[in-house]
Amino acid sequence: MAATEPRSAPTPVAPPRRRGRRSSVRGWRRTDQLIFALAWLAGLGLCLVAGAIVIFLAIEGLQYLDPKLLVTSPSPAVNQAHSGGFLDPLIGTMTMALLGTLIATPLAVLTAVWVVEYGRPRWLAAVVETSIEMIAGTPDIVIAIFGLAFFQIGILAPFSFRASGGGVYGRSFLAAGIMMSLLALPLTYTATRNGLRAIPRHMREASFALGKTRAATIRRVLMPSLRPDIATGATLGLGRIVGSTAIIVLLLGATLQNSPQNSVPLLGFLRGTGSTLTSYIFFNSPAGEGNAPQKAYAAAFVLLLIVLVLNWAVARISRIGAGSSLNSGRMAR
Q: Which residues bind another protein (CB under 8 A)?
A: 200, 202-203, 205-213, 216, 220-221, 224-225, 323-326, 329-330, 332-333
Q: Closer to another protein by CB, 221 or 292: give it.
A: 221
For the beta carbon of residue 234, count every other beta carbon within 10 angstroms. Answer: 26
**Nearest approach, Cβ of residue 229 and another protein (Å):** 12
Helices 87-113 and 277-284, packing angle to 10 deg:
140
Q: What are the start-end ranges of the H helices in 82-121?
A: 87-113
**Nearest approach, Cβ of residue 200 and another protein (Å):** 7
Q: Closer to another protein by CB, 136 or 203: give it.
A: 203
For the beta carbon of residue 85, count every other beta carbon within 10 angstroms. Answer: 22
Can you tell me the distance from the alpha carbon of 103 to that of 176, in angstroms, rounded to the nearest whole number? 12
At CA 290, angle to CA 82 and CA 160, rounded to 5?
Answer: 100
Can you tell me the distance from the alpha carbon of 105 to that of 116, in angstroms, rounded to the nearest whole number? 16
**Contact between residue 204 and residue 222 where contact means Cβ atoms under 8 Å apart:** yes
Q: Closer to another protein by CB, 55 or 210: give it.
A: 210
Q: Closer to another protein by CB, 213 or 311: give it.
A: 213
Q: Closer to another protein by CB, 172 or 207: give it.
A: 207
Q: Closer to another protein by CB, 255 or 318: give it.
A: 318
> How many angstroms separate the most distant Cα atoms in the chain?
104
**Contact between residue 112 and residue 128 where contact means Cβ atoms under 8 Å apart:** no
**Nearest approach, Cβ of residue 209 and another protein (Å):** 4
Can you tell me the distance from the alpha carbon of 5 to that of 80, in angstroms, rounded to the nearest whole number? 88
Can you tell me the distance from the alpha carbon of 226 to that of 218, in angstroms, rounded to the nearest whole number? 10
**Nearest approach, Cβ of residue 115 and another protein (Å):** 15
Q: Closer to another protein by CB, 194 or 255: give it.
A: 194
**Nearest approach, Cβ of residue 71 and another protein (Å):** 43
**Nearest approach, Cβ of residue 110 and another protein (Å):** 20
Can you tell me the distance from the alpha carbon of 212 to that of 221, in angstroms, rounded to the nearest whole number? 10
Q: Closer to another protein by CB, 160 or 225: give it.
A: 225
**Contact between residue 186 and residue 132 where contact means Cβ atoms under 8 Å apart:** yes
**Nearest approach, Cβ of residue 128 and another protein (Å):** 18
**Nearest approach, Cβ of residue 228 and another protein (Å):** 10
**Contact between residue 295 and residue 64 where contact means Cβ atoms under 8 Å apart:** yes
